[in-house]
Amino acid sequence: DAKTTQPNSMESNEEEPVHLPCNHSTISGTDYIHWYRQLPSQGPEYVIHGLTSNVNNRMASLAIAEDRKSSTLILHRATLRDAAVYYCILTWYNQGGKLIFGQGTELSVKP
């Protein structure tokens, strides 16, 4: 299974952008890059995913390096409600929805 590496924790100030990095140097050509987050006392929730091109949605942006060995989740203006553990996960063709979670990055947001 292709693995991802994320920092254990990051800090941000409220209303500032946050860039959460993820390394996946063993990614294969058919692996999708997914991001989920888990707020305290809740189940994980989907944030965004992509394959090769950068992606934007109402929650965040995903920037994928040209060689696809790394990606960055961008929260454009962090709020206190964005404090959560963020997981970067690779999913491969024929895997369907079987996500393999790592430790993720615990994001704290200071007012």
Partner 1 sequence: ETGVTQTPRHLVMGMTNKKSLKCEQHLGHNAMYWYKQSAKKPLELMFVYSLEERVENNSVPSRFSPECPNSSHLFLHLHTLQPEDSALYLCASSQEDAGESVLTFGAGSRLTVL
List contacts with partner 1 (CB under 8 A).
30-32, 34, 36, 41-46, 49, 51, 91-104
Q: Which is closer to partner 1, CB of 51 or CB of 65?
A: 51
Q: In the bound complex, what is the minimum distance in angstroms from residue 35's beta carbon to partner 1? A: 11
Nearer to partner 1, 94 or 111 (CB): 94
DSSP at 81: G
Separation of alpha carbons 72 and 105, rounded Å: 12
Cα(12)–Cα(51) distance, integer angstroms? 27
**Beta carbons within 10 angstroms of residue 73's beta carbon:** 25
3-state class of 51 per DSSP?
A: coil
Radius of gyration of the chain (CA): 13
Q: How far is the CB of 34 from partner 1 (least distance, A)?
A: 8
Q: Which is nearer to partner 1, 29 or 111 (CB)?
A: 29
Report in angstroms how near the CB of residue 48 gets to partner 1 at its nearest: 10
